[in-house]
Amino acid sequence: LKKAKQTKRFELFVSESLNRAKHRFSLETDLRHALARNELELHYQPLIDLDTGRLNGFEALARWNHQDHGYVSPLDFIPVAEESGLIVPLGRWALSEAARTIANWERELGSELPTKISVNLSAVQLLRDDVPAAVADALGSAGICGSRLTLELTESAFVDDPVGARRVLEALKGLNTHLAMDDFGTGYSNLAYLQKLPIDVLKIDRSFIADMTANSDNKAIVSTILSLASALGMKTTAEGIESAEISSALRELGCTNGQGYYFARPLNADAAYAFLKDSAVTTA
């Protein structure tokens, strides 16, 4: 009986992982096609200066509306892109799409335009592609300055090859782009190392922000990250602000920028353009 039970469990395990493999395989194939047919979109979520309530930029977030399954979250397809190598063309597409969008906005509103776009770079992309060359291509074909882009990296980018990653960051700074450390506080944080990197902004992960007014541990973590950033001369962005209460708590603690559903959800390019044109927002 024991044996039969074990076998059954084993079969269950096999068929589950088979299903998972099939699912992954079809996502991978479908993602490849979606990229080739240009079916991905970038949406743009406003970043708000917490002191003035003004728009300070947008974060570009990849969106995939699958023809059979509807919306697929980047939390599902980015890992597939990373495992399959599709992150290289996807990453290049995101850079050039964001650069083209800024170029369109400059054309409409003039080059005094007070905004920029942040693009996420995956750690796998940094290992597999020549990212500074990809950024230079995107800037060159769109005809915009590097200072229009912020590149968001995660701490995981530094784990495997810290020396190589640092060289990439320096090359990106050489193109005048801004650099942000994304999801800060969730990864492997080597503070001594952080200090040596040319990072302009720390983005505080949503997991600390969401309940910080009710959870004193998270509030302590947030204020520690804010002091650290200020000691290192970096700006800060809090992600996942969903209420006026959280927004004003962060403003009081001296956080530079805020991002979250309280201000705006990620918007398609037309809605982001409308938001930009009408860009005075109240922060509570």
Q: Which residues of the chain form contacts with ligand C2E (CB under 6 A)? A: 45, 61-62, 73-75, 78, 94, 120-122, 152, 182-183, 206, 239-242, 259-261, 266
Q: Which of 82, 97, 106, 182 binds Mg ion (CB under 5 A)?
A: 182
Q: Which pairing describes strands 257-259 and 235-239: parallel, antiparallel, or unpaired?
A: parallel
* Least CB distance to ligand C2E at residue 275 (A): 15
Choose the one of Mg ion, ligand C2E, none that binds residue 122, judging by a C-beta under 5 to 8 angstroms depending on kind.
ligand C2E
Nearer to Mg ion, 96 or 120 (CB): 120
Cβ neighbours of residue 130 under 8 Å, at least 6 residues apart?
Answer: none
Residue listed under structure tokens 């005048």:
176
CA distance 172 to 150: 10
Nearer to ligand C2E, 73 or 224 (CB): 73
Nearer to ligand C2E, 94 or 221 (CB): 94
Choose the one of ligand C2E, Mg ion, none that binds residue 194, judging by a C-beta under 5 to 8 angstroms depending on kind.
none
Choose the one of ligand C2E, Mg ion, none that binds residue 261, judging by a C-beta under 5 to 8 angstroms depending on kind.
ligand C2E
Q: Which of 152, 199, 255, 263 binds Mg ion (CB under 5 A)?
A: 152
Contact 265, 45 (CB under 8 A): yes
Q: What is the DSSP string of 211-273?
A: TTTT-HHHHHHHHHHHHHHHHTT-EEEEE---SHHHHHHHHHTT--EEESTTT---B-HHHHH
Is residue 120 close enough to count as binding Mg ion by CB under 5 A? yes
* Other CB atoms within 10 A of residue 93 CB: 17
Which residues lie near Mg ion (CB under 5 A)? 120, 152, 182-183, 205, 239
